[in-house]
Amino acid sequence: MKKSTDELLNSLKSSRNYSDFFKEEMSELQFKSLSEYLEFLTKNKKLKKSEIIAKSNIDKTYAYQIFNGTKTNPSRDKIIMLAFGMGLNNSETAILLKNAKQPELYVRDIRDSIIIFCLEKKMSLIEANENLQENGMDLLE
């Protein structure tokens, strides 16, 4: 969160409509839970959970538990895998990680910088893991 509550309130007051405010300030807003944010992303990006899960290579049962909120503390890697499954960029992944109460990707960390590169280049999870392996880093699994 970069803006103070007062700055955010002023932005809300000066917005023409809530949709504009929401798009502009989404990274500043808090969702009640990770599952609520995942539901928002799924609808907003017009994605199907089954397709996200297939592209993220997460066990189907485990992934649905993340989506429905019964799995409340998924690992950072699982969240990043979901980001690849949704086709998110680094900024969107940072918001997803924040909602999962996980640290965002850090460009100075070699493994994280490879992941950021792959997210920004819209690579698949398989391509990201190939890049990680080529550089001697742990795979996303």
Alpha carbon distance 118, 90 (integer Å): 9
Give pLDDT tens digits for 102-137: 999 999 999 999 999 999 999 999 999 999 999 999
Per-residue confidence (pLDDT) for residue 27, from 0 to 100? 76
Given this model, what pLDDT does residue 24 score?
82
The tens digit of pLDDT for each residue in 30-81 reads 788 999 999 989 998 999 999 999 999 999 999 999 999 999 899 999 999 9
Distance separating alpha carbons of residues 125 and 9, to the nearest angstrom: 38
pLDDT at 112: 98
Distance of CA 76 to the CA centre of its chain: 10
What pLDDT is attached to residue 26? 77
Q: What is the DSSP string of 75-106?
A: -HHHHHHHHHHHT--HHHHHHHHHHTT-PPP-
Find the range with the poorest average confidence among 10-19, 58-67, 89-98.
Answer: 10-19
Q: What does the domain layout of the chain look like in residue ranges?
A: 1-30, 34-134
Contact 22, 28 (CB under 8 A): no
Cα separation, 45 vs 88, whole angstroms: 10
**Whether pLDDT at 1 is above 80:** no
DSSP letter assigned to residue 137 = P
User: Predicted confidence band at 22 (pLDDT cuts at 50, 70, 90)?
Assistant: confident
